[in-house]
Structure 1
């Protein structure tokens, strides 16, 4: 369980987040949605300590992340960026096996695992293991980025607008893929998007943010039937 208690983030006295209180349950597909500058990425980055709160606490299973050993914390939280952020000088196999190698997995186990995971996301290992990122399409790069993030089976996966730069077909395919992976591995996914349609498609619960605050946090059905704020109405029906 991930818990935010009275979390605020200030930049030169300007509030990026204001008094955020919420709980993300284990195994949930939790979506943060909002326009640019709403605070959703700032909120996400609090979980793996890429950013620290000015006030309040973020905890995982009751432990304040600020008290956690940083390397251990990040090794156990998967993270997928918009661009995939693959290392251009490493092959697909080498990119995916970085965290297993850091955790001391034997080479044979690493390669075997990469092989099976590539098959799981529809990339033929014989064709893709030794390719470099520049030899992949955008959608293929994101599949590899997702595999790198989940290969050690982390309990938490953070995804920061991972599909927004892709064409509609690739985006739809990867949305379906991440739903299947969530169902398979039962990990907690915290997913950032500015696209309400994507939030609706993926989220167990949706947290709508505006100007650094939570304006509504609930299931799709409740938000659709009982929008709690004008921002939610506008975002849901016009976004």
Structure 2
């Protein structure tokens, strides 16, 4: 999987909220997306998922050497991309068990495959979600977050987009999630992009960090051995 973004802009009337001239992400691993409120992080995710249409530009998913899909061209890229942006992704009148089975049935995933997937996330899910007959709408904010994150991985996608994945999670769940994200990216050779205001968690798990300001990528930082920490602290402390 390779993600390629070219001349991507988004405007509302005369106000430009995103302008990315060029961005390639092709190495498997975790990429952090950071910036203050209004930097354009969520807008970028929404454009990548074709939930917003760009004012100009193109987002291409290179699945392999033969397959390339544009995000606005067709839906063939969707099985290769998993995402959780907010609770609007959930069907909240279902229980978590029903929701996972619904996605599995739509995607021709067997019960055995679903059980294997849920087992991978068992420590993260905990004991308060599955088998409880509680509707998603009645779960705590943290447990809703867990359901959305687990669902994003259900198809074993090559690219995963998670917007503020650490929100609402207790410290233990945050640490478990960090381990799961690193393990998944390594075992599946996938790209995981996380947008987060939690700079330390982002530094802890990302190999590359993109810093957005007013819709522009102003820094593209190599974070191996957490080398981006000083530069990010300097930026956010200024």
TM-score (norm 1): 0.81
Q: Taking structure 1 as reference, are residues 117 and 125 closer, same or farther at Cα in structure 2, changes over 3 Å only?
A: farther
Aligned-residue Cα RMSD (Å) equals 2.8
Equivalent residues in 2 for 1:187-202, closer than 5 Å: 187-202=190-205
In the alignment, which residue of structure 2 is the partner of 1:162?
165
Distance 2:184 2:18 in 1: 31
Q: Is the 8 A contact 1:208 1:216 kept in 2?
A: yes
Judge conservation of contact 1:82–1:165 (CA < 8 Å) in 2. no
Q: 1:10 to 1:134 in 2, by over 3 A?
A: closer
Q: Which residue of 1 aligns with 2:208?
A: 205
Measure, in 1, the Cα distance between the counterparts of 2:177 and 2:101: 21
Partner of 1:119: 119
Is the contact between residue 83 and residue 165 of structure 1 (CA under 8 Å) also seen in structure 2? no
The gaps in structure 1 that reach 5 residues or longer are: none
More helix by share: 1
What is the aligned residue count?
A: 227
CA contact (8 A) 1:77 1:154 kept: yes
SS in 1 for 2:77: helix
- For 1:66-117, what per-residue CA distance to the aligned partner results, in whole angstroms no more than 9, with x for missing partners? 22x23x4334321113448532322222211333211334xxx23x233222
Structure 2 residue aligned with 1:218: 221
Shift of residue 136, structure 1, vs aligned partner: 4.6
In 2, Cα distance between the equivalents of 1:116 and 1:223? Answer: 36
* 2:185 is the alignment partner of 1:179: no
Aligned counterparts of 2:85 and 2:72: Cα–Cα separation in 1? 22
Q: Report the 3-state secondary structure (helix = DSSP H, G, I; strand = E; otherwise coil) of the residue aligned with 2:72.
A: helix
1:23 aligned partner: 24
TM-score relative to the length of structure 2: 0.82
CA contact (8 A) 1:33 1:207 kept: yes
8 Å contact kept, 2:10–2:54: yes
| Structure 2 residues not aligned, in runs of 5+ | 63-67
Sort the Cα spacing of 1:198 and 1:116 in 2 relative to 1 into closer, same or farther, 3 A.
same
